[in-house]
Amino acid sequence: MRSSRLWLLAGTAAAVVALALSFDGTPAPGTAGLEAPPVPAAGGPDALSSTWYCAAGGAATEAPMGHSLFLMNPAGEDTTAKITAYNAEGVVGETTVEVPAPGPTTVGLNAAFGAAGLSVVVESSAGQLVVEHRLADETSADQVACSTSSSDRWFFPAQTTLRNTSAQLHLFNPFPEDASVDISAAVDDGVREPPEWQGLVVPARTSRVIDLGVGAQRRDQFAVSVELRNGQLVAETAQTLVTPAEGDAPATRGLRLQLGVPEADSDWTFANGFTGPGVSERLVVFNPGEQPAEVVVQVTPFGAVELLPEPFELEVPARRYAVLDLSAETRVPPEGLHAIRVESGDRTPVVVGRVVTITGPRADPSAPEIALRPPTSLGTAIGTGTPLGATLWAATGLVVGEGQDSTVLVHNPTSTTVTVTATVIGGAADGTPLADAVEIPPGDSVAVATGGQGLGEQEVTVLVEATAPVVVERTVTFISQNDLSMGLAVPLPLGRDGLTPVRG
């Protein structure tokens, strides 16, 4: 399907999803509290503007990391975007960039503003603009969508501060009023609320970085809650792992970026996951509420919906977390890919993180039809899934070329067969079909590979269109750094009901 047809579909769909305020040249205040969308989502076809917030501008590395933006506009019209950069002192500067449709347009922020470690706001009159950001250095990289709203709370289910690791919390307040926050850490034996984390002030129009190791100390796993007393902000974490091999323990290395989750939910879906030799895959279920949660985890291997593994059951106490090591469970197939569904009984809201760490090369599959995990031999990634599905998704900033294996993963959570089309839009490969009217049975998934498609050496956008709401993730490989990124694509709502709860 040619990209022009896809733009026409988006442009003629009915109604508005009001995810952005009118563009007036200043940061939109966003939607606060539980009204914030649980995942970043572009505006509807009639949205008059868009605002995106990218909080984490760096990580705890010896040298500053490169910070890049990827902007794409699927609406079919060239546009501009104003980028305003902030640090702990205030506004660093602003610049306006051209965004030819559909993109992606890449912006190197360190070069644009002559500084590193910056948080940015991206504003445009294009209501369907999609913005992701990437941090990278010579040995690690990660990439996530920026946020489309502020919130009065943010949750991070899986953080680590062991030796040779670091975890930074970036609190970004581009708004005209100071924000005051309380930060707590759920650890294995209780909840820590260090005095220096209580009533912490993030002044207006600044960005502040908190070293989570100071308050949480050295821990392999803890969950973080950020709750505002007043004001609003956007929160994101950046974790680094650089652990040499020691005894039987393999080396680990990589970067994990995670945008905070603004709202707990009782139903989370991941379109992607894998275990096997040289892979650790863990689910962390964090219960930020005051009531215990009983959680069921269903793993569904791609192409094997008739032979589902027995589901896992977890009990998660109030304000605590539970860890499920899928790579240690024999009922999960050790090769191929799988989707994951997490449901909480009595609709008790929880937050779920999927943490993948690669410590060795991938093995050849036992059969040619088995979808392979990414080709990196090191790397780590974190994702938090979604409670929502949509019929149109954009995966942008996908690295393609020699040795790369960036992949789009599509999961059908519905009870009917869904037909899916995946098409490259923009650039020299515009209109290249990667999946043409592929049928996905109920509960099943497909992997759409970019390798071997003759796309050249570039970064591309893949638009996924489905006949019913699906969940779409993407895996981006960074061969130069031997690292990877795993996470959600960005939904493009086609109307007021364009984002649909997965549970129906």
225 Cβ contact partners less than 8 Å away, ≥ 6 residues apart: 153, 154, 155, 156, 183, 184, 185, 186, 288
Determine the pLDDT at residue 498: 61
Query: What residues are paired with 88 via a beta bridge?
Result: none
Q: Minimum mean pLDDT among 200-204, 234-238, 245-249: which range?
A: 245-249
Given the DSSP bridges, would you call strands 90-99 and 130-136 parallel, antiparallel or unpaired? unpaired
Query: What residues are paired with 323 via a beta bridge?
Result: 284
Asked if the model's pLDDT at residue 276 lies above 50, the reply is: yes
Determine the pLDDT at residue 133: 98
Determine the pLDDT at residue 144: 98
pTM of the predicted structure, to 2 decimals? 0.92
**Among candidate residues 238, 236, 190, 174, the one with its CA nearest the CA of residue 380:** 238
Asked if the model's pLDDT at residue 321 lies above 80, the reply is: yes
For the chain, what percent of residues have pLDDT higher than 70? 91
Task: Tell which wins on pLDDT, 146 or 76.
Answer: 146
What would the pLDDT profile of 457-503 be if each residue is shown by its tens digit? 889 999 999 999 999 999 999 999 999 999 999 999 865 456 777 76
Determine the pLDDT at residue 307: 87
Q: Minimum mean pLDDT among 225-234, 240-249, 343-352, 377-386: which range?
A: 240-249
Q: For the chain, what are the domain ranges?
A: 3-145
243 Cβ contact partners less than 8 Å away, ≥ 6 residues apart: 162, 163, 164, 165, 249, 251, 252, 253
Asked if the model's pLDDT at residue 76 lies above 50, the reply is: yes
What kind of architecture, by CATH, is found in domain 3-145? Sandwich (2.60)
Q: Of the spans 39-43, 186-190, 292-296, which averages the highest pLDDT?
A: 292-296
Given the DSSP bridges, would you call strands 66-72 and 407-411 parallel, antiparallel or unpaired? unpaired
Asked if the model's pLDDT at residue 353 lies above 50, the reply is: yes
Determine the pLDDT at residue 190: 92
- Categorize the per-residue pLDDT at 323 as very low, low, confident or very high, splitting at 50, 70 and 90: very high
